């Protein structure tokens, strides 16, 4: 069972009527157990649902069966009046619809009222993308020396070579690397498994790490983790973000995140002629719409180059 951790929301949870509180807890169990959502996703959804149920109680509801479209719309309207961003409203609307669908299936709601709830579409800003030479400068910025520098180099090479998410990188174990075929086995969102290839520079960085870096840092807490922190445990996402930020600074680039390297890898693949469906599979996107944003990035880069170079632009 996963309850919201934000103190304010936790207090709201405890003040809900028993039927509402039990529904929120059962929904959390459904998300984590049946749908295999990450702990972060479960907390976000349950936090939103608790907020919705608290609003419903203030409007006179006592059980999930009292939820109707008026309550849902009133809840989003109150959030909008309070200054919530479009992205926040879109996410909370999605959480409400997911909850209502589940509650209807569990016979806590007579009808799936959430399907009639419209919420603002989040604006999708084009991601910031490095040029190929900038990405190369960033990933090669750590000078090969001690085990930490060797570790940092392989972190950067793998992020850019594969385009995997930072959590996926941190979760890699030694058996997940097939150096003969140059692929890594990745467990993405929803524990979906996929194989992602990587190139010769990343393989050379892996060779150095496995021969000289990892043995120097390994200890009782290492287990099968591929990448290790300075104390020998599995590397954490916060450490990876620091590695990327430090590398960007050394390369003279604006702040870049691990997700920025993922954006860059996807864009460079498409610009190099890769098929959109293949890039979707490599990135682990559930739908093609998540990958199509990179075609827009490429078009914008082409437009910028045209306007800079063409005398009649």
pTM value > 0.75: no
Those residues with Cβ within 8 angstroms of residue 66's Cβ, 6 or more apart along the chain or in another chain: 56, 60
Q: What is the mean pLDDT of the chain?
A: 85
Tens of pLDDT along 248-269? Answer: 999 998 778 898 898 888 888 8
Catalytic residue among 45, 160, 198, 294: 294
Q: Which of 51-55, 109-113, 125-129 has the lowest mean pLDDT?
A: 125-129
Catalytic residue among 55, 92, 165, 268: 165
Tens of pLDDT along 74-85? Answer: 999 999 888 888
Q: What is the pLDDT of residue 299?
A: 55
Tens of pLDDT along 150-189? Answer: 999 999 999 999 989 899 999 999 999 999 999 999 887 7
189 is an active site residue: yes
Q: What is the pLDDT of residue 30?
A: 92
pLDDT at residue 125 greater than cutoff 80: no
165 is an active site residue: yes
Catalytic residue among 3, 73, 80, 189: 189
CA distances to 185, 265, 276, 291 from 279, in Å: 16, 10, 5, 7
Mean pLDDT of 222-243: 95
In angstroms, the CA 273 to CA 276 distance is: 9
Catalytic residue among 21, 185, 241, 285: 285
User: Kindly report the CA angle at 297 between 294 and 302, in degrees rounded to 5?
Assistant: 130
Catalytic residue among 21, 241, 259, 301: 259
pLDDT at residue 5 greater than cutoff 50: no
285 is an active site residue: yes
104 is an active site residue: no
In angstroms, the CA 265 to CA 122 distance is: 24
Catalytic residue among 104, 153, 262, 263: 262
């Amino acid at each position: 069972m996963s309850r919201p951790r934000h103190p304010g929301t936790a207090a709201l949870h405890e003040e809900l009527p028993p039927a509402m509180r039990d529904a929120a807890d059962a929904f959390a169990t459904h998300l984590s157990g049946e749908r295999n959502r990450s702990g972060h996703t479960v907390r976000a959804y349950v936090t939103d649902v608790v907020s919705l149920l608290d609003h419903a109680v203030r409007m006179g509801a006592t059980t999930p069966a009292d939820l109707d479209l008026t309550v849902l719309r009133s809840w989003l309207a109150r959030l909008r009046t309070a200054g919530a961003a479009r992205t926040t409203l879109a996410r909370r609307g999605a959480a409400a619809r997911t909850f209502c669908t589940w509650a209807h299936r569990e016979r806590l709601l007579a009808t799936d009222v959430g399907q009639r709830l419209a919420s603002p579409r989040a604006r999708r800003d084009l991601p910031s993308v490095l040029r190929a030479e900038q990405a190369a400068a960033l990933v090669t910025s750590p000078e090969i020396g001690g085990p930490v520098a060797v570790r940092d180099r392989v972190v950067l090479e793998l992020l850019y070579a594969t385009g995997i998410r930072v959590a996926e990188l941190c979760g890699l174990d030694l058996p997940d690397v097939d150096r003969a075929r140059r692929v890594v086995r990745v467990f993405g969102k929803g524990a979906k498994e996929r194989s992602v290839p990587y190139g010769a520079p990343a393989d050379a960085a892996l060779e150095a790490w496995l021969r000289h870096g990892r043995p120097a840092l390994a200890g009782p807490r290492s287990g099968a983790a591929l990448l290790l922190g300075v104390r020998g445990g599995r590397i954490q996402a916060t450490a990876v973000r620091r590695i990327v930020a430090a590398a960007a600074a050394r390369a003279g680039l604006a702040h870049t995140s691990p997700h920025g390297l993922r954006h860059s890898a996807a864009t460079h693949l498409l610009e190099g002629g890769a098929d959109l469906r293949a890039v979707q599979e490599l990135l682990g996107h559930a739908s093609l719409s998540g990958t199509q944003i990179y075609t827009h990035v490429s078009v914008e880069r082409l437009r910028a180059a045209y306007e800079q170079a063409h005398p009649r632009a």
